[in-house]
Structure 1
Amino acid sequence: MSLTPQALEHVHAILAQADAKLDQLRHIEPYLIDLSLRENPVGSNLGQTLADKLAILPKLREFGFRNISLGTLDYAMPDELEVDDDFMQHLRDQQADMTGCFAFTAMGIQSADGTFTPDPSQLKLRAYGVPNTMHEISITKAGRGTQYDLETLRRSLPASIDWLCRNIRGEGGKQPRILVNIVDGCDAFAECPDVTCSILDLLAGLPIEGVSFEDDRGSFLPFQVGAYVAAARSLLPPPMKLLVHIHAGAGFENASVIEALLHGADGIWGGLPKRAAIIGHASLGELIANLARVGNPHVQDYQLDQLLPLATGLQELDDLKPVPDDLPVLGHNAYRLTLSSFRQIPGRFMDLAPRAIGGDYGYRVCPVVSDPVVIAGRLAEVTGRPASDFPEEITRQMIRLMRRDLRAGERIDYDEPQQLLALLARAEQS
């Protein structure tokens, strides 16, 4: 079969579509709301104390976050205060600068006779002096539960926003910045798209900064999330912001965020580390790293060389144990080479070398694949001697011995220092 000019032209047209998407990602100035003070401890076995939160907040500001959620003003048991309440009260009492700070609130209810009752979380927002809010609603029958029906939702949403605008003192005395978060947003588009569009149309006419919606179980495929974002964007034109929050239930989360950005989302909210309410989420750390990977200049507004140590340090604080080794981007093994050809090189297309986000390459010995460069690098880590002290004839002999051991039925963890040194001794003697 001969390659025709028409076939080649068709291939180039396909590749051009991918280049156009990369160019779009390079030019996005992502709108990010950091939730490291809430999202990450929600999924932790330990949580955060007031002292923890007071130590974390300045680190988030130093990193470069301009929008930070201080916490959620509990909806289910508002009378039993949380550390989030203590934290916001402390900031208020110390007259701390809360510019760019948010707290999550629930919608108040307007009765059929026009009487409006603010949610306890709204009253707390006012009492604590937090200037901005992520205001949460649900649309599906399962999401709404017994809290309100659709008629009540439509009636109460404008009244609740109006109450916030009249009662919350925003930054510099201005109106509060309000983003309405649709907790069951993906479910709502899938189950009742017409109702969902009618709520979005209602939101488009309200004095809010934007809308967010979630895949709160991480169940939806990336192309579904992209379609829902495109649908929402068609009803919420700029400058209204459109954000997503994606959990990691099925492993699609970061791909879903990229699809969301390509289909009109302005950004995401989430914690800097991977830790989240279930098994993780599309974190700000991963998104910032991936935008750096494609050459987005706006991520340079953050202290990019502190991304890896800050994100991993926050997760270690929440869990009191190391970040899982095999976590992409942020895990210990993400930059431990098993084969030298896997090295990501600065300046090479689509590579993100660890130095760019505050990390360094390490080495991990795997008997099936590791080459002399990796063996020498791991020996240098274990012994403290330079890699040049281990000549290729010795490291190749170590590879031969590992293969022979496996063929003889022996399974040995050569990455473990004592086993690696024993293997070195055998190679030097053979």
Structure 2
Amino acid sequence: MTRVDDEWMKLLIDEGEDPEYLWAFSEVTEGAKPDRTPETETVPVGLRKIKEAGVRNVFFEVDLGDATYDFDRFSMKEMCKLTKKWIRWCYDNLHPNAKVLINIRDIEAVMETHPERVCKFVQSISKMPCDRRPFGFAYEEPGKSLPEECGHWARLIRKIMDANNFNGHLLVHVHEKYGYCDATALQCLMDGADGIWASMCGEGAAMGQASSCVTLMNMIRLGNEKVLKAYNCQSLRRSAIEVTKITTGKLPHKRQPIFGTRALDYVFNLTKDQFHLADFFGVKAPVRITTMASAEMIKQRLINLFGEDSQFNLEIATRMKEIILEDLRSNRRVEYMSSFGLAVLFDRAGGSLTADMRDRITAVGQKEPHVKYLIGEIRKIWDELDAREENERDDMLAFDSFYHGFMAQYFASYRTKETKQALKALDMDVDGKVDWNEFKVYLTWAANEYPETETPEDLLVIVFTEAIIPASRDEYVSPTDIINS
């Protein structure tokens, strides 16, 4: 029977994918006979399809528990012999440099009842001649065991491999079930495993899996410089998001660690040259064109957003700076950070709008009623919070009110340094409160820069993840400010 995967694998190779990096799964036997002993003569269908497709790397699935085979009728010695037979078959029939991994699929069950089977199996395979040994072992945890248990399995297997001078790989795959999966994957890596096999995202069988993106990120976060140098952190996160979209048709859950929209972790203490939150998340703080911006900064921002143009010179930038100051003196709060905002400022300064500028202004103009709706809905929340304070309806919110009304889902505590940095980034006039007009600058920027935003909730996500949080990392907060909060 031809399945979609069969055709897809052939298509990949026909389109030039390097088979060196392609893997396919196969059972180590064609199946169990009526007496619950493995079929030993027929080449497993997985291997036959792998050969037909031109793939060379095999991931064998092996069961050592009583649920699949009757080991009173078929001994562990015979199981080891059968597995070695198909390993040799791979080298002889697929490619001399084939990579073979052996996954002990039911290790959780067999370690509870017959751990000696795992020991015998690993020892027997590890003793194969060097040119016939597999690429390594793997084991699969269904989400039932504690991290310490799974780490023990890694130590045991690695100890046997080392005792036989087998420096092959030991990979682990952990399913989600009771919330341990990411901790379990890390524990296995600490205790002897040297790799994982998992999707970029958390989607998978049953409730999902420990994703490679989350595992790698945690290794980096904990100071693993080898992983930091080996992977592009920005690409890892983007890849996890895209794989989730391809798999489910939707974005990752908002509370998905690392690559969900609310996955804002402020526990990093590494220096900028090692790792930085904003760099990992692939976001940059928008350049804040304010009264403090120089003409040179405005000129450079024009070039960055719209490309080189003879009009983008210090003369026009100086005039734009003057208009910003005029707006301040007339108490007019305007947003200049977005491409739309800067284009309007350029136009007001007497510049001749480029085609790109006109297109952006037109696009925002078409969305203006929706933008007003989005900001209006957020204003309703603001007004409710404002009404609870002593000086009600003064368009100002105390830091505490603003935190509980808007920030709590992004920051673990009101008293952390990171929360104080974000509040300081919002407090543009340094009066110890958040002014509605200060907050509205970010809301307007987000609505203009991301015109496809549909809901107020989505707009707030963009405001915090794409603007306030990246912008806040350069704010200085003294230890006294944190203690006195």
Indicate the TM-score class for this superposition, using the shorter chain for normalisation. 0.5 to 0.7
The residue number in structure 1 matching 2:65 is 140
Change (3 A) 1:266 1:394: closer
Q: Is residue 2:29 matched to residue 1:108?
A: yes
Q: Aligned-pair RMSD on alpha carbons?
A: 3.9
Compared with structure 1, are the counterparts of its residues 360 and 228 closer, same or farther at alpha carbon in structure 2 (3 Å cutoff)?
Answer: farther
Task: Map Cα deviations across residues 361-382 of structure 1 (whole Å, 9 max, x no partner).
Answer: 89x964397569969969x9xx
Deviation at 1:241, TM superposition (A): 1.2
| Kept in 2: contact 1:375–1:395 (CA 8 A) | no
Q: Which ranges of structure 2 fall in alignment gaps of 5 or more residues?
A: 287-401, 409-413, 438-454, 461-485
**1:355 partnered with 2:279:** yes
Corresponding letter in the other structure for 1:290: N
**Pair 1:150–1:312, CA change in 2 (3 A):** farther
- Seen in structure 2, the aligned counterparts of structure 1 residues 227 and 312 have a Cα distance that, compared at 3 Å, is same
Match of 2:185 among 231, 243, 257: 257
Residue type of the alignment partner of 1:91? L
Task: Tell me what 1:283 maps to.
Answer: 211
- Which residue of the other structure, out of 82, 88, 101, is the alignment partner of 1:156? 82
The answer to whether structure 1 residue 168 and structure 2 residue 72 are counterparts is: no
Q: Determine if contact 1:327/1:333 at 8 Å carries over to the other structure.
A: yes
- Aligned partner letter, 1:395: V
Distance change (3 Å), C-alpha of 1:197 and 1:294: same
Q: Write the distance in 2 (CA, Å) between the matches of 1:103 and 1:275.
A: 19
**What is the distance in 2 between the residues matched to 1:343 and 1:230?**
30
Whether contact under 8 Å (2:139, 2:171) holds in the other structure is: yes
Question: What does residue 334 of structure 1 align with?
Answer: 263
Q: Number of matched residues?
A: 308
Flag the structure with more relative contact order, 1 or 2, with Cα contacts below 8 A and sequence separation at least 6. 1
Structure 1 residues 134 and 368: CA distance shift in structure 2, 3 A:
same
Q: How far apart in 2 are the matches of 1:328 and 1:136?
A: 30
The CA distance in 1 between the partners of 2:13 and 2:27, in whole Å, is: 21
The structure with the largest alpha-carbon Rg is 2
| Separation of aligned partners in 2, 1:346 and 1:239 | 32
Amino acid at match of 1:347: T
Q: Which residue of 2 aligns with 1:190?
A: 112
Q: CA deviation at 1:345?
A: 5.2
Match of 1:312 among 220, 241, 254: 241
2:405 is matched with 367
Secondary structure in structure 1 of the residue aligned to 2:262: helix
The structure with more strand, counted as a fraction of residues: 1
Q: Which residue number corresponds to residue 129 of structure 1?
A: 54
TM-score normalised according to structure 1 size: 0.62
Q: Is the 8 A contact 1:275 1:281 kept in 2?
A: yes
Distance 1:102 1:155 in 2: 23
TM-score (norm 2): 0.55
Looking at structure 2, the residues matched to 374 and 416 of structure 1 have their Cα atoms a distance apart, in angstroms, of: 20
Alpha-carbon distance in 1 for matches of 2:84, 2:111: 21
The residue number in structure 2 matching 1:220 is: 145
1:157 maps to a residue whose letter is T
Could you tell me which runs of 5 or more consecutive residues in structure 1 were left unpaired when the two chains were aligned: 1-78, 381-385, 399-412, 419-430
1:270 to 192, 195, 198: 198
- Counterpart for residue 428 of structure 1: none
- Give the drift of 1:351: 8.3
- CA gap 1:352/1:280 in 2 versus in 1, 3 angstroms: farther
Q: What secondary structure, in the 3-state scheme, does the structure 2 residue paired with 1:227 have?
A: helix
Aligned match of 1:395: 434
